[in-house]
Amino acid sequence: MFASVLIANRGEIAVRIARTAKRLGLRTIAVYSEADSDALHVRVADEAYAIGPPPARESYLVIDRLIETALTARADCIHPGYGFLSENAGFAEACAAAGIVFVGPPPSAIRAMGLKDQAKALMEKAGVPVVPGYHGERQDAKFLKEKAYQIGYPVLIKSVAGGGGKGMRRVDKHVEFDAALEGAAREAQSSFGDARVLIEKYVTAPRHIEMQVFADAHGNVIHLNERDCSLQRRHQKVIEEAPAPGMTADVRAAMGRAATEAARAVGYRGAGTVEFIADGTKGLNPGGFWFMEMNTRLQVEHPVTEAITGLDLVELQFRVAAGEILPLAQEDVRIDGHAVEARLYAEDPERGFLPSTGTLAALELPAGEGVRVDAGVTAGSVVSPYYDPMIAKVIAHGADRTEALDRLAKALGATVVAGPRSNAAFLRALALHPEFRAGRFDTGFIDRHLAELTAVDARAEAGAVARAVEALLGRDTAPASDQSAWRDPWSATDGFSLGVPRALDLGILVDGEPEKAAANWGQGGVGVSVGGIDADAAARIVPVAGGALALVGGVQRNVALKSYDSVDVDHLDGDGVVKAPMHGKVLAIFVEAGASVRKGERVAVVEAMKMEHALVAPIDGTVSEIAATVGAQIAEGAKIMTIESAKGES
């Protein structure tokens, strides 16, 4: 076994790797960018080294700097985690050249599976079923559009170089192909440095099922059963579980054979995942699944496999990388109960799941029987725009699927995230949805049920806002024990009145929008209602600069008392202002000053947290001002352009 490991990653996966490494007696070495100097993964490691500025391309993706750091720290091996350089063959070769063991597969296997077009050709040769499509070298737009027409819509445009939904677009109509191809290629270039794509048939009602494989350097290849990753949004996994609902022994055996053959075909070593797409319209059957890709690394969702098998996959990675024989054979792999994982992200489901940044004013993660949490942040940590917005992974394990989902829903209900918005309430709604619990779902499930999954209880919201107003009204009151504090008699909050009880209609701001609250003072203090709903004493209130955050059922509202000594500039620009929906980088501006635009027309693209977000014209009119430049970093709410309406109003 190794004596030390440099973890070439950040966030929850770096923390998780360090946990196993410490248990095995390894000295743990962290690396960090300037944005991560006080990050949790830095604090849990035995040593930590700075490697550059916040952008990943200037820090976590600089191979020479990582190798130099590993040599300085005398690391025996480097664990790449997932993302960043985990599937970079050049990084694996650089490790070998420096005499450092790369905890992952050989460079040849990474290259073979790293480009989806070549991987599919290799799998066809090995007899593994592959989704129909075009996986060739020609990349001119006209040719690819013709191929899409021949394959038949709907089709998927996919980056040949990456995964995680980056550089992927579903296209339902021929007229939509050009814009989709342009966006997919640009996103693929930004994420992976390779703009090439492939085209494949979109499988109706698809189930996304993957097999965890492990191989050692002695010719042993096994699988650790499957995971179902069908609950997705924008091709990003949201909830994963093991085993897959509806899986039968014969289908598992067929998928397992295909997965292990795929690993053998590339001379694989270490942990890997072979991903399949299955036709969900007919139920799972041995002839109804096709190879999509192989991820030559550990997966985000590996904890559900650990839960049902009782194995530590990171420990197996270290042992295989150290040259040991796999400690179990295929017949030793077990399935104990059911496990479900939810990805807790800093994003706003009410605003199209836009990434949400900022300081975590409060963070309370769940605990309890059958619950595991892998987190990379703590209260006070900053969710920055430079990296993936994951806060934590919440994993629940039970005797069966119902118990696992019950535990997951309870855990998510106990989760508190204040500051950046989170998808906690959305995840809980998924865990409780009767159709999902009945096993009736595919990769389109979230889109079909999005409205109900993101619905907010208006009464609960009003009660929470009212409770926040009560807290704000009482905040400046001097403590009764402080007899020396001077008290302004005109702003006292003790309820004293010579006439009728004091009452006031207050102007408040909820998420920056003006609303009204009714405040009534009595002997017990101030009582507030919003829209006729009294304050909910159970709502969680977190003080922040300028106001308070009200939390209820995973939903967050920023509440402030309206100030009347300043102009409300937020609404002077009207509906014609196109603003940045989040902190990010301006990738493209499609119009110039003076151009005429129609409502809904794409006018700009902003990139944040490795995803592209198209901005559209809110009204018909003429572009009167361009306030941003391509390539510039912009803050949430920053003006990008102004459009004068066709009627002369902006």
Residues designated as active site: 297
The encoded tokens of residue 391 equal: 């806060």
Question: 3-class SS at 372?
Answer: strand
The answer to whether 75 and 95 are in contact (CB under 8 A) is: no
The answer to whether 318 and 327 are in contact (CB under 8 A) is: no
Question: How do strand 4-7 and strand 77-79 relate by DSSP bridges?
Answer: parallel
| DSSP code for 442 | -
Q: What residues contact 257, with CB distance under 8 A and at least 6 apart? A: none
Taking each helix axis as running N to C, give the angle between helix 116-125 and helix 107-114, from 0 to 180 degrees, rounded to the nearest 10.
Answer: 100
Report cis status (omega within 30 of 0) of the bond before 53: no
Q: What Rg do the C-alpha atoms of the chain give, in angstroms?
A: 27
Q: Which amino acid is at 593?
A: A
Phi, psi of 372 (to 5 degrees): -130, 140
The encoded tokens of residue 311 equal: 């194995």
The answer to whether 558 and 541 are in contact (CB under 8 A) is: no
Report cis status (omega within 30 of 0) of the bond before 243: yes
Q: How many CB atoms lie within 10 A of CB 491?
A: 8
The answer to whether 374 and 353 are in contact (CB under 8 A) is: no
The encoded tokens of residue 103 equal: 């905890």
The answer to whether 1 and 39 are in contact (CB under 8 A) is: no
